[in-house]
Copies of this chain bind each other. A is one copy, B any other.
Amino acid sequence: MNPTLEIFSQGEEIVTGQTVDTNAAWLAQEAIQCGFTVTRHTAVGDKLADLIFLLKEIAERADCCLCTGGLGPTSDDLTAEAVSTAFNRPLEFDPIAFEQIKDFFVRRNRVMPEVNRKQALLPQTAIRIDNSWGTAPGFAIQHQRCWFIFLPGVPSEMKALFSESVKPNLLTRFTLRAPHLVSLKTLGLGESAIQELIKDISIPTEVQLGFRAGTDDVQTKLLFPFHYPKTALNSLVTEFSLCLGDYVFAIDGLDETTGDLAFEVDKLMTAKHTTLALIETASHGLLAAKCVGYDWLIKASYEKSIALSTQNLNIEELISTAKNLALTTHQDSGANATLIQLYTGDPEALIDKNKSIQVLSVLLVNKEFYQTTHSIVGPLTRKQNQAALLSLDLLRRYCQGKLL
């Protein structure tokens, strides 16, 4: 039997629905990948009596509990106080935590407000979890059956703390038989198209197949039990990979570290010593924004006049416009590759979620042109994001020699 784990979210913004509790889902997935059985999620608001009651309840019921929220400096941040009362451990001033909090403000050239002092109060016997991403340290404490871990509610801080400190500790503290998750990340195929492509693969009953359609990819997930033989795992993954073909841009859970599409393109562009100049229209700056921190992007621009001038062109005209733009941009930029993204559609097509646009991406490298076209429908921000991803994907396919 795996140890059981509950997720406990605190905050009025969660319980009133102002914020969708994405932390709970993220932590649940992480916990399952560690080898826990997740049994329950609970969210309550900033009410001391509710918090105390729930903490006591969970202490009797679960082996581990991941709690988020309520660690801030303000009067509605009640977690430490609730833990102190529920588990009968007086709050104690932690001088190291206090130094870290002061330091957070010093590094930002700001004076620490007096209210932040409260964040250095931790329940007796609690183990502090250092937080270099924000002011609030997390903490962990055992009560009765349950090992409680309290993390900040800000998703970026919570994720960083969990990955860097909490997870390694859980893996040594509990006897876990983690299942092995392999995810094939694709761009350009819907969930049902994927189902169609893989329908002839016979999947052993102990392997769990799942899908996750996100804004940036669709993941086909294979969850293998702890003792599943490595060679059988590899051969099943290969079978999936062959069925999904060039749509797969990364496979998570094998040996290599993978990331999102921009991360994969960065690896490829860096390896190929290729630099890029870019004009984007439909993605409106988002392609460049996804490449922040990557050295090979030399120049990127959006011009409204270009976007307007191509709205009514047919595909042939669009391609020739893009090629001409690529040639002139290439001369000026000093980059060895040039990517031009244009689109057609009526004037309302970008904004109207029921209308589609045709997005063309043209890549010029070593005097050769490569191109893809896609039809994109949906709300404005979806069109923008898909356009950015599909143009990036042309770079990936070029680097991987899949356009020859």
Task: Pick the 8 closest A-B CB pairs, nearest first.
Answer: A285-B288, A17-B28, A301-B301, A17-B29, A285-B285, A285-B289, A17-B25, A286-B289
Inter-subunit contact A304/B293 (CB<8 Å): no
Smallest distance from the beta carbon of A381 to chain B beta carbons, Å? 7
Identity of the chain B residue whose Cβ is nearest the Cβ of A28 in the assembled complex? B17
Question: Of the candidates B19, B108, B289, B353, which one forms a contact with A284 in the assembled complex, judged by CB atoms under 8 Å apart?
Answer: B289
Other than the known A20-B20, A76-B211, A300-B301, what 19 A-B pairs have Cβ atoms closer than 8 Å? A15-B38, A17-B28, A18-B221, A21-B41, A40-B43, A40-B44, A40-B50, A74-B192, A76-B209, A107-B356, A108-B377, A113-B195, A115-B192, A154-B213, A284-B291, A288-B288, A288-B289, A288-B302, A295-B304
Q: What are the residues of chain B within 8 A of A31 when measuring CB–CB?
A: 17
CB A66 to nearest CB in B, in angstroms, measures: 11
Q: Is the CB of B302 within 8 A of A301?
A: yes
Instruction: Compute how far the CA of A295 lies from the CA of B21 in the bound complex, rounded to whole angstroms.
Output: 34
Q: Is there a chain B Cβ closer than 8 Å to A392's Cβ?
A: no
Judge whether B41 and A16 touch: CB under 8 Å.
no
Interface string of A1-42 (1 = CB under 8 A from B): 000000001001111111111101111111110000011111
| In contact, A116 and B192 (Cβ under 8 angstroms) | yes
Chain B residues near A115 (CB, 8 Å)? 192, 195-196
Beyond A13-B212, A40-B42, A354-B132, whether A303 also contacts B299 by CB under 8 A is yes
Task: Report whether B40 and A377 are in contact in the complex, using a CB–CB cutoff of 8 Å.
Answer: no
Cβ 8 A contact of A41, one of B13, B15, B18, B212: B15
Complex formed: what's the CA distance from A19 to B379 in Å? 21
A351 in the interface (beta carbon within 8 A): yes
Closest to A215 in B: B156
A201 at the interface (CB under 8 A from B): no
Q: Which residues of B contact A292 (CB under 8 A)?
A: 284-286, 380-381, 384
Is A193 engaged at the interface, CB distance under 8 Å to the other chain?
yes
Of B43, B283, B295, the residue contacting A289 (CB under 8 A) is B283
A285 touching B300 in the complex, CB below 8 Å, given contacts A43-B41, A156-B382, A195-B115: yes
Q: Decide: A210 and B380 in contact? CB cutoff 8 A.
A: no
Q: Is A375 an interface residue (CB 8 A)?
A: yes
In the complex the two chains form, is A24's CB within 8 Å of B25's CB?
A: no
Q: Does A350 sit at the interface, judged by CB under 8 A?
A: yes
* C-alpha spacing A1/B141, complex, angstroms: 36
Chain B residue nearest to A212 (CB atoms) is B13
Contact A18 B210 (CB under 8 A): yes
CB-based contact A38/B16 at 8 Å: yes
Q: A375-B109, A381-B292 are in contact. Are A16 and B43 (CB under 8 A)?
A: no
> What are 28 residue pairs bridging A and B, where the CB atoms are less than 8 Å apart in the complex?
A9-B41, A14-B25, A15-B41, A16-B28, A18-B25, A20-B20, A20-B22, A20-B24, A20-B25, A46-B210, A73-B195, A74-B211, A107-B356, A113-B192, A115-B195, A116-B192, A132-B354, A284-B292, A285-B285, A285-B289, A285-B302, A286-B289, A293-B351, A293-B380, A298-B304, A299-B304, A300-B302, A301-B302
